[in-house]
């Protein structure tokens, strides 16, 4: 497992960008990885993880949390509205708030529970038809809708198009966050997390570079 190497690279990227130590959270993306690898990461002190699937998280995290009470699990995959209730019980943060119907559901759950996971609005910076996320030109209105529901997103998240330079997308997301007074920026994956840090990422989502290639779903 290359967790230590990735942490070293992340620390170097933060120093290079003049970012304060601890200002970027490394999410170890453990979806579909064997439990033994996740346990190994927990044992060397990794505490923040990213998962994509509600079912998988429900099956695997209660036991880890019983052993490592301070572990945090972030939802980074698409979230179906009918799984929102389970998701708010399982996750410390949700990075994929991407539509009004989901916001409405989360707002209701937050009201009933008196608490809400930290929320990131996913923005489809590449305007890709097959990809989830609020379109950049619709973001300000979406954030107003959230505000009207008493939902207070912490930040923005993006997944840049596969074949493109991610930097303009990181730049765009950072600008949109500043413009809207949001402090969280979830961007950067195995291939580009150092560049994301240079553009202000607060959460990088690194899977294969830590755990190795994923078994297929
Ligand atoms: C799987 C996944 C990652 C991790 O991808 P790697 O290329 O393995 O680092 C990051 N973000 C999201 C949204 C993912 O689904």
pLDDT tens digits for range 16-73: 999 998 999 999 999 999 999 999 999 999 999 999 999 999 999 999 999 999 999 9
Q: Which of 207, 209, 212, 216 to mutate to test the pocket of ligand 1 (most atoms within 8 A of CB)?
A: 207
**Using a 6 Å cutoff on CB, does residue 206 contact ligand 1?**
yes
User: Could you tell me the distance, in angstroms and rounded to a whole number, from the CA of residue 55 to the centre of ligand 1?
Assistant: 18
Q: Which residues contact 93 (CB under 8 A, 6 or more apart)?
A: 72, 74, 75, 117, 118, 119, 120, 154
Q: What is the CA radius of gyration of the chain?
A: 17
What domains does the chain contain, in order, with CATH numbers? 3-211 (3.20.20.10)
Atom of ligand 1 nearest to the CA of 157: 13
How much is the pLDDT for 1? 66
Condensed to tens digits (0 to 9), the pLDDT of residues 90-111 reads 999 999 999 999 999 999 999 9
How much is the pLDDT for 215? 83
User: Could you tell me the distance, in angstroms and rounded to a whole number, from the CA of residue 193 to the centre of ligand 1?
Assistant: 11
How much is the pLDDT for 216? 77
Q: Give dist(CA 29, CA 6) in Å, integer.
A: 12
CA distance from start to end of the chain: 21
pLDDT at 217 over 70: no
Judge if pTM exceeds 0.95: yes
Half-sphere exposure of 2 (CA within 13 A, CB side): 14
**Using a 6 Å cutoff on CB, does residue 189 contact ligand 1?**
yes
């Amino acid at each position: 497992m290359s967790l230590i190497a990735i942490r070293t690279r992340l620390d170097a990227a933060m120093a290079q960008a003049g970012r304060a130590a601890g200002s970027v959270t490394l999410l170890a993306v453990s979806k579909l990885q064997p439990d033994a690898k996740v346990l190994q990461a927990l044992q060397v002190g990794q505490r923040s993880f990213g998962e994509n699937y509600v079912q998988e998280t429900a099956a695997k995290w209660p036991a880890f949390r019983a052993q490592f009470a301070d572990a945090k699990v972030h939802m980074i995959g698409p979230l179906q509205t009918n799984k929102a209730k389970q998701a708010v019980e399982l996750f410390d943060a949700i990075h994929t708030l991407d539509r009004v119907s989901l916001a409405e559901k989360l707002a209701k759950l937050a009201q009933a529970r008196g608490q809400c996971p930290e929320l990131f609005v996913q923005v489809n910076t590449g305007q890709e038809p097959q990809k989830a996320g609020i379109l950049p030109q619709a973001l300000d209105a979406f954030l107003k809708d959230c505000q009207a529901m008493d939902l207070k997103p912490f930040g923005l998240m993006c997944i840049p198009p596969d074949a493109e330079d991610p930097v303009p997308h990181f730049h765009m997301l950072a600008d949109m966050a500043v413009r809207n007074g949001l402090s969280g920026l979830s961007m950067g994956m195995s291939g580009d997390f150092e560049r994301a840090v240079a553009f202000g990422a607060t959460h990088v989502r690194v899977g294969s570079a830590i755990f190795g290639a994923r078994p297929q779903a």
